[in-house]
Amino acid sequence: MNVDGIVRRNMLLRVAGGLSIASVGALLAVWAQLPLPWMLGALLATAATRIAGVGTACPRPARNGGQWVIGTSLGLYFTPQVVEHIGGNAGPIIVGMVFALGLAFMGTAMLRRYTDADFKTAWFASAIGGASEMASLAERHGARIDRVATAHSVRVLLVVITVPFIFQWWGVAGLDPTVPGPQRVHGSGLAALVLLTCLGGLAFMKLRLPNPWVLGPMVVAMLLTVFGIELSALPDYVPKAGQLLIGWSLGDRYRPDFFRAAPRFIAVVAAFTLGALVLAFGLGALLSYWSAAPAPTLILGTTPGGIAEMAITAKVLQLGVPVVTAFHVTRMVFVVTATGPIYAVLARRQA
């Protein structure tokens, strides 16, 4: 066997090992009755083994596949009635966007005060946007990409682990049980849905838009549902597979030296994330006096997690999937577009 063949075989073994560990972790989490078992079990098992030095791998297409599942399933919830309901929450959604900006200032101040991070690194590490988008902006402005990526990994990990357990303990599942438009699986319709939503993901990726494999399929599925075109529902096992792939890809980010690389920086990011969660719970409770949506739905909408992870939480717990999605999508777009220009203004003032 030539060198290329050996490399491919070793990579296949690493991927197969990673998928096996993630699957076992998910099944153990189901057995232990953990919240969001297919995502959390895969995430925790993968992260633990990667930090322990196990050389498994998760290929990028696996995360893209998980995001496609989440994006497509989210889009199927946007019936005309649900869209009207979201319009009634425009005010709270705008407040959520401003809240995310306030968290960026809070995190920047904490990192500047308690770590050796420079201003630009602290700013892009604290912005509540996607990890890849913030890392790209950090690279463009000369910030430390490794610190920025680490900060967002810690934030997402803490939110994904903490929030589902809090909601399980709170016992608030099923307060806002929105159901998707299509209710039955149709073979030809499912094939058409897969094709169209994948084309949406490819288009978003070609245009270099943020979160292409969540937002591209979501927009296509949402347009179909809004206009009453019900091609097919997704089979029951597909969302579970998507959650497993998301958990596997999140856990695969961690390496043996993760906690040794910058312990003080990681500790401050963790403290900032927990503080942001406390503020998000308070803001969600306040917004419930303005919105008809239940407080848990509004809390999920304002938490500093990612679109896919918080949408999964809302879906599994039946807590207003479209409203939570609207909060996170608008916040992500706002943060990605505003973070760079705001940094430029602040940097000039500091010069």
Q: Which residue has the tokens 């319009």?
A: 87
Q: Which residue has the tokens 């999508």?
A: 329
Least confident of 85-94, 135-144, 324-333: 135-144
Q: CA 176, CA 167: separation in Å to the nearest integer?
A: 14
Q: CA 132, CA 169: separation in Å to the nearest integer?
A: 32
What b/e sequence results for 204-240 when a residue is b if at least 16 CB atoms lie within 10 Å of its CB, and e otherwise?
Answer: beeeeebbbbbbbbbbbbbebbeeeebbbbbeeebbb
Return the closest-CA partner of residue 249 out of 189, 323, 191, 312.
312
Residue 192 has pLDDT above 90, yes or no: yes
Q: CA 143, CA 121: separation in Å to the nearest integer?
A: 5
Residue 350 has pLDDT above 80, yes or no: no
Residue 181 has pLDDT above 90, yes or no: no
How many CB atoms sit inside 10 A of residue 180's CB? 21
Give residue 136's pLDDT.
79
Rounded to 5°, the CA angle 320-222-208 comes to 110
Residue 193 has pLDDT above 80, yes or no: yes
Provide mean pLDDT across the span 261-289: 95
Give residue 351's pLDDT.
60
Helices 187-206/60-75 angle, 10° precision: 120
Provide mean pLDDT across the span 320-325: 91
Confidence class for position 1, pLDDT limits 50, 70, 90:
low
Tokens of 39: 């995502």
- Look up residue 256 and give its DSSP letter: T
Provide mean pLDDT across the span 151-167: 92
Residue 81 has pLDDT above 90, yes or no: no
Tokens of 229: 């075109």
Give residue 7's pLDDT.
80
Give residue 92's pLDDT.
95
Confidence class for position 125, pLDDT limits 50, 70, 90:
very high
pTM of the model: 0.88
Confidence class for position 129, pLDDT limits 50, 70, 90:
confident
Tokens of 29: 């989490």
Give residue 82's pLDDT.
83
Q: CA 162, CA 43: separation in Å to the nearest integer?
A: 13
Confidence class for position 240, pLDDT limits 50, 70, 90:
very high
Percentage of the chain exceeding pLDDT 70: 99
How far is residue 350 from each of residues 118, 123, 135, 340, 347, measured CA to CA in Å? 12, 13, 22, 15, 5
Provide mean pLDDT across the span 134-143: 84
Beta bridge partners of 319: 176
Q: How far is CA 135 from the centre of its chain?
A: 15
Give residue 262's pLDDT.
82
Q: CA 265, CA 288: separation in Å to the nearest integer?
A: 34
Rounded to 5°, the CA angle 187-193-198 comes to 130
